[in-house]
Amino acid sequence: MNNKIYVLDTNVLLDDPSAIYDYKEHEVMIPLAVLEELDNQKNKTSDIGYNARETSRILDDLRIKGKLNKGIELENGSSLKIVIDKEKLKLPPHLSATKFDNRILSTAIELKESNPEKEVVMVSNDINLRLIANAFDIQAEDHKSNGIDGEELYDGFIEINTTSSIIDKYYNDKKLDPQELDGDFNELYPHQMVQLSTTDDKNKSALGRFDGKKIVPLIFDKNTPMGIKPLNREQKFALELLLNDDIKVVTVSGKAGTGKTLLALAAGLQKVTNDKIFERVLIARPVVPMGKDMGYLPGSVEEKLEPWMQPILDNLNLIIHSNEGSYLSIDQLIENNFIQIEALTYIRGRSIPNQYIIIDEAQNLSKHEVKTILTRVGKDSKIILTGDPFQIDNPYLDKVNNGLSQVANHFYEEQIAGHIMLLKGERSKIAQIASDLL
């Protein structure tokens, strides 16, 4: 057994109940205050409540191995122990002894003092608690069982420098073996987007997509679905994923104004109204935490949804104005069942076949909620998740553990999936500057 003691904060278990198994051959400590916080959360109908109950079930199952307050051995070589608060907490007088975070911190301090030969690590997704722990000379880190580095979120494209002769060959052959390129490009992923640029003075470039074997030209490079024209490189990449019927799961991330929702809606309407590939576009976005009944809000379902769905309606209006003289109108699209606007609350339990599904603001969903949605996708459907992982309203989520980032960083090796991160704002100059500076 290694000489490390990991003290788990409540938010770690609320995010991932199986986190107790992530520290092989080390000691895992759960302060009593964590169990009390879990008990306070267990009745919630959201993902938080589910994870609180699941953590309690896991710990209850482990009781057969022995007394948790004495410590038990886990199958992965680690040990688990529930630590009871000392009568007098190890805290300076100005820190409240009734605050859960302070009681958890006190447990870590006590463990460090009573185990000087071991390294004590506070594991928390709460930045403030990690900072306070460091102030008490306690090592602190966030929980990364998913193996995703928050500074290296998968962006879905790569820039490769090569010679003009290679680019000429690519244009002539309509394909390029990555092994022909200088450097190690054996780690390209299915549907990863590529820009080839010259290192010589010929100033040539080319865009492409890795199809799993070769780099191939973009199929939909010249497409303008529903009159919406891509305005930059990343938007071209996005449409390549959104319009390809073989790619069933697409994640599009980016800051406000980069065109995520607009491109997804335009591609979906193109596939439904013109190409007749799907029956309808199903649009949903987080309105309230999943599991909370829409009946808590006043008015009819339509009245409840309207303020939350206004960004969708704004984008639909922009698409309609790009098709002057067309029969299109929002009312007609809804009446003809080309578009269905739905609350995520009602998706659980359904099977959704042959539809172009758009989940907007997916960064406000947890991994469990996104899993619930993805398992509703029926035969011949395609699902798009859009959002900004750097603008999250859910206090229990961050840029790494949110549902959008989780799908992007776990599906990138799958042949049916693709991801692109949009970089350049196209809404307006004001929106771009505000997004970058504020």
pLDDT per position as a tens digit, 321-352: 887 766 678 888 888 889 988 877 777 667 89
Q: Is the pLDDT of residue 148 over 80?
A: no
Q: Is the pLDDT of residue 298 over 60?
A: no
CA atoms within 13 A on the CB side of 169: 12
Cα pseudo-dihedral 170, 175, 180, 186, rounded to 10:
140
Residue 325 exposed, middle or buried by CB count within 10 Å (0-12, 13-18, 19+): exposed
Residue 265's pLDDT band, with cuts at 50, 70 and 90, is: very high
Report pLDDT digits (tens) over 387-417.
999 888 877 788 888 899 999 999 999 999 9
Q: Is 150-217 a domain of CATH 2.30.130? A: yes
CATH architecture of 222-437: 3-Layer(aba) Sandwich (3.40)
Q: Where are the domains of the chain?
A: 4-141, 150-217, 222-437
What gap in Å lies between CA 248 and CA 380, rounded to an integer? 8
CA atoms within 13 A on the CB side of 230: 20
Per-residue confidence (pLDDT) for residue 302, from 0 to 100:
53
CATH architecture of 4-141: 3-Layer(aba) Sandwich (3.40)
What gap in Å lies between CA 207 and CA 221, rounded to an integer? 9
What gap in Å lies between CA 196 and CA 38, rounded to an integer? 51
Asked if 267 contacts 239 with a C-beta cutoff of 8 angstroms, the reply is: yes
Same fold, 4-141 and 150-217: no
